[in-house]
Amino acid sequence: MAFGLVLAPTEASAQKKSNADQVPYVFERGDTLIDFADKYLRKRSDYFAVQRINHIADPRKISIGKRLRIPVKLLKYRPSEASLSAFRGAVAISSGGRNMTPSVGLDIGEGSKISTAARSFLTLRLEDGSKVSLPSNSRVRISRLRHILLTDSIDYEIAVDKGRIRSKVAPLKKKADRYRVRTPVAVSAVRGTDYRTRVDEASGTAFSETVEGEVIVAAGEDLNKGGAISVPAGTGAAAAVGGKLAKAELLSPPELLDPAKVQSESELRFALASGGSAIGHRIIIASDAGFVDVVAEAQGQGSGIQIPAIPNGRYFAKMTALSADGFEGMPAAYSFKRQLSTLGGSADAGDFGYRFKWGGKGEGQRFYRLQILKDSKTTVPIVDEAGLMHSAVTLSDLADGDYFWRVGVIQLSSDQTDHEAIEQWTDFEKLTVTN
């Protein structure tokens, strides 16, 4: 369960193919190289390349048990499958120069280009069960989406041209299975893990952060050469445009303050415990615990993050801390309830006394409660009216003096399966009466 991050090959190094780009084949009785080519190679003439690579003098006379190295790029394959599991916002998908209309379940094949605009998200599900998620402002290409016939294995490659992706890779079952993510300066090879890939738009540096599994990083094309470093879960690697590699420990998951809080304000507000070396935080909101259907995300400095309004419901939040060296930390996930319920009030003098008014936004039945206290916020209320369904009360018999008043609301959910009610109050307001 490991993957490697290696710098993109130069023209000179490209002549030396990594063992990872070849698969073995052991010749059996009756095999010939030409028959092998007809069955497994994309072109019959490709057997010449196999003959040359393996130093075979006569393609019709190969010893039984001889182990050959076959370049993956020469092998026949059937197209593998990917489908659009979820999407929101402005998502663009094209294949063969033709734009495709996004829809859940849409088949997406090799060669497709996918991009997300601001506040837009999508998740792909690959044939082997792996998931690839694109947040906002990202652009990728599906370079390879194949099932190799010779080895009965998968060969997947995704190129990240801009932004970020998260790969939740199912454990690969066969030694020849390959899942890769390529950036302009690096390529990663994965064997069952959960990790993130990001291309920094300003510097071009490619960041890879391992949440589960292990990463092997090498400054070159071949992971079997010396100098490779291990990047296990909880650490990250960065490949700069100039070829420099850096390794860092990822920041610990941030702690959410008051995780049981119902998000009832117009904007969602999340308060995080301060401290540590984080320069900011990122939050992702999804409708499911697997974060397939992402509905919102935000990034902010300090210990607080705000997200624009989202519909009522139960959601999951994943939070990470951001470090000064560009790495995103380990995630912490929480569930929370969103039920919009705002409340405000005012009081003024009218022709028939003092009029107290209130109102707010929220779905479901709302019951109001008005409290008025004399002289202090700590005294027993002289008015305590509960169960009010209207939005105003006029009092004509208030004596001179100082009063403190507030209004509360109990809001019942409009969802018949959710019997939880929300109760909240406005802050105390001071009213001075002079007749």
Residue 17 has pLDDT above 50, yes or no: no
Average pLDDT (215-241) is 71
Other beta carbons less than 10 A from residue 90's beta carbon: 13
Work out the number of other CB atoms within 10 angstroms of the CB of residue 308: 10
**pLDDT mean over 300-304:** 86
Share of the chain above pLDDT 70, in %: 92
Cβ of 96: how many Cβ atoms within 10 Å? 9
Specify the higher pLDDT residue, 173 or 332: 332
pTM assigned to the model: 0.82
Write the DSSP symbol of residue 112.
-
pLDDT band at residue 85 using 50, 70 and 90 as cut-offs: very high
**Rounded mean pLDDT of 240-255?**
88
**What is the phi-psi region of residue 227: left when phi exceeds 0, alpha when psi lies from -120 to 50, beta otherwise?**
left
The pLDDT confidence band at residue 189, using thresholds 50, 70 and 90, is: confident
Look at residue 94 in the predicted model and tell me its pLDDT: 97
Alpha carbon of 40 to those of 65, 75, 124, 153, 154: distances in Å?
Answer: 18, 6, 29, 13, 15
| pLDDT for position 173 | 84
> Tell me: the pLDDT tens digits for 21-47?
788 999 888 888 999 999 999 999 999
Q: How many angstroms from the chain centroid is the CA of residue 40? A: 38
Reply yes or no on whether the pLDDT at 293 is more than 60.
yes
Report pLDDT digits (tens) over 320-355. 999 999 999 999 999 999 999 999 999 998 878 999
Give residue 130's pLDDT.
94
- Residue 7's pLDDT band, with cuts at 50, 70 and 90, is very low
Q: What is the mean pLDDT of residues 396-414?
A: 92
3-class secondary-structure state, position 48: helix
Is residue 298 a contact partner of residue 282, using CB atoms and an 8 Å limit? Answer: yes
Two structure tokens written together for 385: 């009216």
What are the pLDDT digits (tens) for 110-142?
A: 999 999 999 999 999 999 999 999 999 999 999
pLDDT at 225: 52
pLDDT higher at 191 or 304: 304
Q: Give the per-residue pLDDT at 140.
A: 97
Distance from C-alpha of 109 to C-alpha of 321, rounded to nearest angstrom: 35
State percent of the chain over pLDDT 90.
69
Distance in angstroms between the alpha carbons of the first and the last residue of the chain: 80
Q: Which two tokens stand for residue 426?
A: 């406005």
pLDDT digits (tens, 9 = 90+) for 40-79: 999 999 999 999 999 998 888 888 999 999 999 999 999 9
| pLDDT tens track for 212-221 | 988 776 654 5
Contact criterion met (CB below 8 Å) for 263 and 231: no
Residue with tokens 């209004």: 407
What is the arithmetic mean of pLDDT over 173-182? Answer: 86
- The whole-number pLDDT of residue 221 equals 52
- The two counts, helices (H) then strands (E), for the chain are 2, 35
What's the pLDDT score for residue 12? 35
Mean pLDDT (whole number) for 375-390? 95
Contact 196, 211 (CB under 8 A): yes
